[in-house]
Amino acid sequence: MEFLGIADEEFIRQDVPMTKQEIRILSLVKAQIVPHAVVYDIGAGTGSISIEAARLAPQGEVYAIERSDAGVNLIRANAANFAVPNVKVIQAEAPAEMDNLPPADAILIGGSGSNLTAILEAAGRKLKDQGRIVLNCITVQTLMECIDYMRQHSDTYIYEAIQVQVTRLQQVGTYDMAKANNPIYIVTCWKK
């Protein structure tokens, strides 16, 4: 049985953004991925969410959409490292290529490249009824763009938003000091 929460240090990372362990765990729980699910990971970065989603959906498929060469290479390396052949890497700037994918049970959005509204439009066309979109928003502007979109489409979606602040203790000599990660907003949207 696979468990959520691969240690951050186990991923091959380099200088590509990566969703940290605690945020991955919460996002994947919110996505409610089942063993046969079709999942999109948009703005996949290193593929940390793709890898964990693939382990939750061993009979399903995970489409990792990433625009950068470095990210695509890291996703492939991490997928090989964790032996998850059900991760399909697509090099594209979303929403490009989304219309060519099978219908999704869950769509996770980590990076939108200033294309969030277009991505949400494409996601709406591809998301199955009762499916979920989960967004990790670093900025307030991205959060508000998502919330505004969901409010304008309240006939299609129900949403909730939470803010998560993770602080880890770091040993400094004989003391333990708090070291805070950036707060993240996680927005979960259910398609009616």
Question: Which tokens go with 124?
Answer: 């709406």
The answer to whether the beta carbons of residues 12 and 34 sit under 8 Å apart is no
User: Which residue in 145, 148, 150, 117 sits closest to 132, CA to CA?
Assistant: 150
Write down all domains in the chain, each with its CATH number in brackets: 19-191 (3.40.50.150)
Predicted local confidence at residue 187, as pLDDT: 98
Question: Which tokens go with 126?
Answer: 């591809």
Percent of the chain with pLDDT over 90: 93
Task: To the nearest 10°, report the CA torsion of 79, 81, 85, 88.
Answer: 20
Predicted local confidence at residue 21, as pLDDT: 96
Which amino acid belongs to residue 30? K
Predicted local confidence at residue 70, as pLDDT: 95
Res. 105: pLDDT tops 60: yes
The per-residue pLDDT for range 133-171, each reduced to its tens digit, is 999 999 999 999 999 999 999 999 999 999 999 999 999
User: Which residue in 56, 64, 59 sits closest to 87, CA to CA?
Assistant: 64
Average pLDDT (46-69) is 97
